[in-house]
Structure 1
Amino acid sequence: MECAAKGMGTPCTGPATRRCGGCGAVSYCSYSHQISHWDEHKEECGRLKKQMEHVDALCDFPFTFSSEVTSQVASQEVTKCSFLQSQGLHKIGIWTYECRCEQSVALSNFLRSKDHWYLPKELCPCTEPSNDLPKILSSWKEYYKWRSLPLCSPVALLLHWPLSIYYGIQLASHGISPGSSGELRIHYLGPEKELHQLPAFGELRVLFPGVHVFIELVGPSIPQNGDGECAIISGYPKCLDEECKCKFLDENKANDTDNYKVNLRLWRGFYHDRFRDIVKNGLPHYIVGPNAGIAAYASWKPTVELIRNLNVPAIFSDYSEEAANLAARCVSTVTGHSLSLPIQLNPFRQPFMVEDAALCVPCFSNCFFFGM
């Protein structure tokens, strides 16, 4: 935890062990830094205090490893690296980019590779579900039950990407089934680590059954040699069991028009700069901005202005309720309107607390939704 007044003037005198007595959400290295930061902090203090009252709800997950990835991370007993090591997944395949030990992998080569869960079949969704999709999934427990997964499976650490897309779109569509035309076009803004976890997006095939999903991924993190790259996901990452039927699926099904697919295309740059090129493939049904950081980056302003004029539902997420609150102010300032989708907790947030977050309030990837 860093001192909330770091960089504001005098250097920090040591670790940030002194919490604000009002909210308990920010920490300081010294009394003098706490005093100097008050003019900035006083406006947010009451808001953060209310958020601290809901810490238990943020950390409420059904998994058998929940205490490891929440309370033990908060106390620095567990890191993402150590957790992945305990699962036998550290620095392996699509799990590589879940920790700070990430290795450099050529994106274009990765898109063309076939990946694996590196888990036995009983712990991962490597084949079609045995039952039809319930009307609306609204929790990790419901999803795991539908996919016949035990609650010790760690796949939620990666599947929070497609499940957050699914749930966000359900919220934006007010329960009306999207993709009635047989196609679902999504503009996905600001991808980063998920660019190396795209095989997990194959789960969208069963979350939106009978629909061809087209996703345009747009952002400055896409490498130059990835601009314009395309990929088709027609199945799921495979499991470790050599006799599992996921090993024997007909590879020619990738060309079968009856086999619904997830189609991906990458665009390097900001959405407002690349928009004219992107929409040559069709206007979006939904715009999705995961972990957006709208209040943190000035580059979002022209993008929000563009979205305002499109009249297309846009669903954003962020790591904390405070980040979502600040984003809501920015959106309101740019558009002159309040949010169409109020800030709310995402039941499919990643079940692993962000390490070394700026606030003492627990933060999670894709933690809170809001929309315009």
Structure 2
Amino acid sequence: MMQVVVVLIPSDLSKPLKTHYISWDETGSAKIDHGILSLLHQDEDIEISNFDAMDDRIEVPLLRPGNSTDSPGLYAYYRSYGRLKSQPTPNIRATRLAMAVGLMSLRFHGDVLIARSHPSGRPRWSNVTIEDLRGACISPDLRSKNQNELMCGIGDDSVREDMEVAPLWIKNAAQKNYHDAVAIARLRKVMENEKKHQQNVDKILANSSSSEEKFSLTAKSPLCLHCRRPSKNLCKSCSGAYFCSPQRGCRSVGWSHDCQCRTWMSYVSRREELSTFGYFDPDWQAKLVGREFQLSDDPYKKFLASQMNIKCDEDCEVIYSLSMSSWWRTETDGWAGGDSSSAQQVDITTRKSYLQGFAPIPSEYLPPMQRVCDQDYERLLSKNTNVVGLRRLLSWEDYYRLRDIPPQSPVALLCTFPLTIYHAIVEYGEVPVTVARMLRRPLRIHVVGTEKELNFLDLFKEVGFLLPEDLKVEIIFIAREDMLPTKCRMATSASSDGDGDGNNDDRFLLRVEMTTNLTVGVVGGTYAGESIDDTTLDPNFDCGSGPPDMIIAMNAGLYAYESWRSVIDYLYHNKGVVGVFSDYNEYSGYNCASLGGAASRESLCINPFRQPLSLPVYSMNLPQFSNGFIYVFNEQELD
């Protein structure tokens, strides 16, 4: 006789998860399928002889088994709706489990049975326990701190602070499922007619891009999470999502929010912490985290209009003039795929001083355009260094004091970008820095997914000024060609019409020495996937003196664009390259971090150099800040 332990997840939340034993004889007529059916029909009296005739179970693979012993498979079973008189109750806990393993669109109704398979598939089945699944059934966010917080909140006395709330193979499931999906997509692409497929993809992307751009430019108020109609009614439980009035029924139809509701409550509870920037003068900063800034972009535009002498019309649209050439332009008008009025004026070949870029802010409110010396660090800050001797800055206060910037200065609104890169190097770049120094070459960094950073390239001199002079750094900004401003696209076209001699420098739209220890380059394109062509880049060779030591992407949103797949795939197959990403809010950050596996999930944390400005999310009421959260793929430690 064969026996396996399975777990039943009832759709009724008042009923606990329950362990069941299924026994069968491999040589006889009784199959494991019969055991699964009997559990799904446990409220009915059905004879075994009728099981084959009324088999209405549906099998859903939640995780494909791998080859290693720590890579089992996971399967869900539920009854088909076709034979039921009405759709059964949504299964919140089983849907949370699906979300936890990266299957964000999967929804379950009715009781769900979970079975686990052996990694090798022989024998197929192995035992699964309630302890394996409990954490994922409580919240899709599997970070230990978050899980313990939620479990304690529901009065689970069995929880300990040091307790692992999910096994490693569950925490790594989202990463594995993501790469499986990418592999399947590639196979499908090969099997289809290439030209026809590409035309369809281009059409879909074009329609998607235009609609997203229109939405982002026209949305002026919060939107219902379910139907996307304007609404200001917050979820009464978590205050993290907007829904239409009860009469429309969006809250009940959009029941999948129940899978996230308690988790979002904890995210919302961190708003005060995220909104606290103690050092800044409240006359300019405190208002930027107020409620009106969480609901619309217009208050920020009005703030810039009053503080930076940027003129706006009655609809808060920027009125441009030929003399308006400061770095604040893209803050007021956005990027819009390089096609906004502000982006079209960007010329990356023109160098600017801080006084020109931050205009009209006076010079006494700006950081000096010179290197920070060791005496300044020792005089102004405690001796806080990482293991390779790089100075740690722990807050905006540390940075402002070090650079002699008064609290009245709003430069942090833009300095969030270079400071996030500096923070990534100091906190996660110890091994790459050590390797670069040993080989006596620059630390090589690719900043991928670049957009409005192209407007203030000179501001990244701050990275060079803050790092020690003997650490040479090469930062290559890589922007999708459809995200480049008009003047950059013209330069790309001119480069592609060149002699085609294969020189790596043909890819560069710009390469300039910003400081004595920092070289900055700009490249148009995306990382190559299966093949390299005129629109893709080989990250190992095309973008500088060699392959990157670190990949950094700010406000990435890895789920948002297919072009991120090649970046994630590159990091997956090159464990020696550290990937550091920032994201706007905790929900997006956590889901994207899960693509890097268990360690990446746990690495998600608040970025001390987030922009001191609350941003609207429209369909959500989660705390949202540019570069708000940070996480790392392939984190490394020195032995």
SS across alignment from 1:291? coil
Say if 2:371 and 2:464, in contact at 8 Å, map to a contact too.
Answer: no
SS across alignment from 2:416? helix
Instruction: Provide the rounded CA distance (Å) in 2 between the counterparts of 1:122 and 1:75.
Output: 33
SS across alignment from 2:341? coil
Say if 2:396 and 2:608, in contact at 8 Å, map to a contact too.
Answer: yes
Amino acid of the structure 2 residue aligned with 1:351: P
Q: Is the counterpart of residue 321 in structure 1 residue 586 in structure 2?
A: yes
How much does 1:307 deviate?
1.1
Aligned equivalent of 2:446: 187
Aligned equivalent of 1:308: 572
Q: Is the counterpart of residue 170 in structure 1 residue 433 in structure 2?
A: no
TM-score normalised over the length of structure 2: 0.49
Amino acid of the structure 1 residue aligned with 2:545: N
Distance 1:76 1:357, change over 3 A: closer
Q: Is the counterpart of residue 205 in structure 1 residue 464 in structure 2?
A: yes
Aligned equivalent of 1:99: 332
Amino acid of the structure 2 residue aligned with 1:214: E
Instruction: Provide the rounded CA distance (Å) in 2 between the counterparts of 1:77 and 1:192.
Output: 18
- State the Cα deviation string for residues 327-351 of structure 1 (Å, max 9, x = none): 123333xxxx541861000000111
Say if 2:346 and 2:455, in contact at 8 Å, map to a contact too.
Answer: no
Distance 1:199 1:58, change over 3 A: same
SS across alignment from 2:349? helix
Instruction: Provide the rounded CA distance (Å) in 2 between the counterparts of 1:53 and 1:128.
Output: 40
Distance 1:104 1:52, change over 3 A: closer
Instruction: Provide the rounded CA distance (Å) in 1 between the counterparts of 2:462 and 2:528.
Output: 25
Instruction: Provide the rounded CA distance (Å) in 2 between the counterparts of 1:356 and 1:50.
Output: 17
Residue 275 of structure 1: which of 525, 529, 538 is its match? 538
Amino acid of the structure 2 residue aligned with 1:70: V
Aligned equivalent of 1:256: none
Aligned equivalent of 1:124: 366
**Contiguous gaps of at least 5 residues in structure 1:** 236-258
Distance 1:17 1:106, change over 3 A: closer
- Please say which of residues 193-202 and 172-181 is displaced more in the overlay: 172-181
Instruction: Provide the rounded CA distance (Å) in 1 between the counterparts of 2:538 and 2:478.
Output: 9
Distance 1:177 1:282, change over 3 A: closer
How much does 1:114 deviate?
2.6
Say if 1:108 and 1:225, in contact at 8 Å, map to a contact too.
Answer: no
Alignment of 1:13-24 (within 5 A): 15-24=230-239
How much does 1:53 deviate?
1.2
How much does 1:280 deviate?
5.8
Q: Is the counterpart of residue 112 in structure 1 residue 350 in structure 2?
A: yes
Instruction: Provide the rounded CA distance (Å) in 2 between the counterparts of 1:169 and 1:261.
Output: 13
Amino acid of the structure 2 residue aligned with 1:45: C
How much does 1:278 deviate?
2.4
How much does 1:270 deviate?
4.0
How much does 1:357 deviate?
4.1
Matched residues, percent identical? Answer: 25
Q: Is the counterpart of residue 232 in structure 1 residue 496 in structure 2?
A: no
SS across alignment from 2:348? helix
Aligned equivalent of 2:294: 74
- State the Cα deviation string for residues 148-197 of structure 1 (Å, max 9, x = none): 11111111111111100011222213599665346221011101111111
Amino acid of the structure 2 residue aligned with 1:17: K
Q: Is the counterpart of residue 290 in structure 1 residue 554 in structure 2?
A: yes
Alignment of 1:134-173 (within 5 A): 134=377, 135-173=391-429
Instruction: Provide the rounded CA distance (Å) in 1 between the counterparts of 2:443 and 2:593.
Output: 26
**Contiguous gaps of at least 5 residues in structure 2:** 1-221, 311-323, 335-339, 378-390, 493-507, 530-535, 634-639
Distance 1:22 1:226, change over 3 A: farther
Aligned equivalent of 2:269: 53
Q: Which has the larger radius of gyration?
A: 2
SS across alignment from 1:301? helix
Q: Which has the bigger relative contact order, CA under 8 A and spacing at least 6?
A: 1
How much does 1:366 deviate?
0.6
SS across alignment from 2:261? helix
Instruction: Provide the rounded CA distance (Å) in 1 between the counterparts of 2:594 and 2:477.
Output: 26
Aligned equivalent of 1:85: 305
Instruction: Provide the rounded CA distance (Å) in 2 between the counterparts of 1:80 and 1:92.
Output: 19
How much does 1:124 deviate?
0.5
Q: Is the counterpart of residue 364 in structure 1 residue 625 in structure 2?
A: yes
State the superposition RMSD in angstroms: 2.6
TM-score normalised over the length of structure 1: 0.82
SS across alignment from 1:114? coil
Say if 1:20 and 1:26, in contact at 8 Å, map to a contact too.
Answer: yes
Instruction: Provide the rounded CA distance (Å) in 2 between the counterparts of 1:299 and 1:76.
Output: 29
Aligned equivalent of 2:475: 215
SS across alignment from 2:328? helix
Instruction: Provide the rounded CA distance (Å) in 2 between the counterparts of 1:153 and 1:129.
Output: 20
Instruction: Provide the rounded CA distance (Å) in 2 between the counterparts of 1:271 and 1:49.
Output: 40
- State the Cα deviation string for residues 235-289 of structure 1 (Å, max 9, x = none): 6xxxxxxxxxxxxxxxxxxxxxxx3333223222346431255256311121101
SS across alignment from 1:94? coil
Aligned equivalent of 2:595: 330
How much does 1:231 deviate?
3.5
Residue 33 of structure 1: which of 226, 242, 250 is its match? 250
Q: Is the counterpart of residue 4 in structure 1 residue 225 in structure 2?
A: yes
Say if 1:345 and 1:369, in contact at 8 Å, map to a contact too.
Answer: yes
How much does 1:322 deviate?
0.5
SS across alignment from 1:99? helix
SS across alignment from 1:112? coil
